[in-house]
Amino acid sequence: MTNAASSSPKLFETVALGPLTLPHRLVMAPLTRNRATPEGVPTPLMATYYAQRASAGLIIAEASTPNAVGQTYPNITAIHSPAHVAGWRRVTDAVRAEGGRMFLQIQHGGRAGHPDTSGLTPVAPSPVALPETIHTPAGRVPSVVPREMTTEDIASTVADFASAARNAIEAGFEGVEVHSANGHLLHQFLAQGTNRRTDAYGGPVDHRIRFVVEVTEAVAAAIGPERVGLRVSPWSTVNGVEEGDTEEIYPALLGALAESGLAYLHVGYADPEDPVFQRIRKDWPGTLIANPVLPKDRIPDDGGLAHAERLLTAGADVIALGRPFLANPDLIRRMRTGAPVNQVRDAYLMYVGGETGYTDYPALPPGA
């Protein structure tokens, strides 16, 4: 084995993030795994899964909905009831017992939902349907046209995000990540293809960023900005989103939030060569987490180490990895020593439930 840490000294240095000092710069990205109950309550199996990965500098737990209508898929987690808080408390206690730290990502699916899953018609900035089928308890079915949100809906959703953040702190999380990426509700407000409103929340960029700013500021006011991160994914077309004017959206959004004192900005699908990423690094005064684009068909043999180093060189402060942590509960040890990595078993990635492809990925034996 080679000593990978010797060629990546910065990656394994401590770093400040909000109220925390992380032991190194590698954090676990949020990964939807559909292992909660149908009501969105985290299960004991989830506590095992996250505790196995407690050596991450920070675990950003999977997307949890702030209200019932925000649910995307079956068996995803939520954070809007006492049962959700209690379930997540078991998870955070298990991770803390192993020396780990957790933030919770809060996500509203917007149009990426279905009545067969939530019992409710999804809501969105405009009545524009998801241009693909969606997974429900009965399998994949055609998407439905969402109901356009009223200004009252917008205000109540902002309040729901703030309440969800308070619930997350009660559940033992160190903070929360507001999800404004991957074609979900907040991203739908940013994008021209899904936001066709003509009021104060649609049209020009400064109107389309308004909802994201209001949600983020409300969450920061509820629990303190130093406990709040924001995730964005410029250029992303996940869930059929079409931004239209990416180069204008993100300077405006970050300009509105730059002085807010947030714990971090998290950029998904980060490309160090992308001018938008470079502009984000220039404009964002605080901690920047970057999530690199790894090959779709396999985890790199180094676990993503080279991708991480390129992003650190491009100005990122912290690196978020998803699939490498999913398949390697001891990813940090493997990266430090240059040990081989496990590959993901894609058939068990989502929807199937159970231990297989979840808590049964092997760790290195002691002394290896």
How far from chain centre, in Å, is Cα 132?
Answer: 22
How large is the average pLDDT for residues 326-330? 97
Cite the beta strand spans of 5-54 per DSSP E.
15-17, 20-22, 26-28
At position 339, the amino acid (one-letter code) is A
State residue 368's pLDDT score.
66
Indicate whether 5 pLDDT > 60: no
Q: Are 4 and 335 in contact (CB under 8 A)?
A: yes
State residue 218's pLDDT score.
98
State residue 266's pLDDT score.
98
Q: Beta partners for 72?
A: none
* Range list of H helices, 209-257: 210-223, 246-257
Q: Are 179 and 231 in contact (CB under 8 A)?
A: yes
How large is the average pLDDT for residues 273-283? 96
How large is the average pLDDT for residues 337-361? 90
User: What is the model's pTM?
Assistant: 0.96
End-to-end CA distance of the chain: 10
Where is pLDDT greater, at 313 or 1?
313
pLDDT tens for each residue of 26-40: 999 999 999 999 999
Smallest CA-to-CA distance from 75 within 325, 348, 350 is with 350
pLDDT tens for each residue of 133-186: 999 999 999 999 999 999 999 999 999 999 999 999 999 999 999 999 999 999
How large is the average pLDDT for residues 31-58? 97
State residue 198's pLDDT score.
97
367: confidence class by pLDDT, cuts 50, 70, 90: confident
- What are the angstrom distances between the C-alpha of 75 and each of 32, 42, 65, 157, 323? 10, 9, 11, 21, 20
3: confidence class by pLDDT, cuts 50, 70, 90: low
Q: Are 348 and 359 in contact (CB under 8 A)?
A: no
State residue 347's pLDDT score.
75
pLDDT tens for each residue of 221-271: 999 999 999 999 999 999 999 999 999 999 999 999 999 999 999 999 999
How far from chain centre, in Å, is Cα 186?
Answer: 13
Coil, helix or strand at residue 176:
strand
251-272 exposure pattern, b = at least 16 Cβ within 10 A, e = fewer: bbbbebbeeeebbbbbbbbbbb
Length of the chain: 368
Q: Beta partners for 141?
A: 134
How large is the average pLDDT for residues 200-227? 98
6: confidence class by pLDDT, cuts 50, 70, 90: very low
Q: What's the alpha-carbon Rg for the chain, to the nearest Å?
A: 19
State residue 350's pLDDT score.
79
Q: Beta partners for 106?
A: 64, 178
Average pLDDT, the chain: 95
